[in-house]
Amino acid sequence: MLEVKDLTVHYGPKPALKNINLTVHEGEFVCLIGSNGAGKTTLLRSIMGLKGINSGEVYFFSKRIHTLPTERTAKLGLTLVPEERGLFPDMRVRENLVLAKVDVTGSELNRVFDIFPALKKKSHMKAGSLSGGEQQMLAVARAILSKPKLLLLDEPSLGLAPLIVDALFEVITMLHKQEGLTILLVEQNAHRAMEVSETTYVMENGRITTSGLSSELLDDPRIQSAYLGI
Ligand code: ATP
């Protein structure tokens, strides 16, 4: 579904991504882990056309997307939930949701409220008054309303309490398992991300250094000592 080929991206003269190769198959749940500044956000932004690339290619269902503006890429079915969530804090929860696309129907909204019941209760509250966890749920809910073929999540657990992270990962897992959603998840919380995903890519200093089945990498002593605190 998504194929990143030999992607190199610089900020000025400084390379942030070096010859990245990464594949996401339809229906797959892939996570990308790596320490602070490894280049994970840059990769998501480059896939979405938010950051220009220096060389390499990105394909989505065999269509070249690295030359497209972000709106066109989004229309093809890629939706990014950015680290900073991109909500409108002074607008109500419901208003934030209907901004997902021009023609949100009542039944689509109800479906999202079934998945995120806490948002239904607070649908008339301003997004900025929600807790961090609820705001993250709202950001994911809005992304779901846009009916993505591929959902890109950038550090959704950042700054959230462990119980809230549990709830968030439960929803993300449900969206993958029950709704068949294809997901590319970027996380510093490597353990959680690897537990819920099928495939893991590890990024260090702008390069993919390891990739494989999450279940196998969870048992890999090098990954355990570098990323899992074991
Ligand atoms: P984090 O987990 O902290 O978000 P990350 O793995 O997502 O880290 P990036 O944010 O992609 O990493 O950053 C990769 C490298 O590019 C870092 O060295 C960072 O300092 C640099 N970088 C990121 N954004 C910019 C920018 N706008 N201008 C210049 N350098 C940048």
Give residue-wise pLDDT tens across range 32-41. 999 999 999 9
ipTM of the complex: 0.95
State the distance from the centre of ligand 1 to the C-alpha of 85, rounded, in angstroms: 17
* Residue 69: Cβ within 10 Å count: 10
pTM of the model: 0.94
pLDDT tens sequence across 200-227: 999 999 999 999 999 999 999 999 999 8
> What is the pLDDT confidence band of residue 101, given thresholds at 50, 70 and 90?
confident
Residue 42, ligand 1, Cβ within 6 A: yes
How far is it, in rounded angstroms, from Cα 193 to Cα 206?
19
Q: Which atom of ligand 1 is nearest to the CA of 188?
A: 2
Q: Which atom of ligand 1 is nearest to the CA of 14?
A: 30
State the distance from the centre of ligand 1 to the C-alpha of 139, rounded, in angstroms: 22
How far is it, in rounded angstroms, from Cα 3 to Cα 61?
8
Residue at 165: amino acid letter:
V
* Residue 22: Cβ within 10 Å count: 20
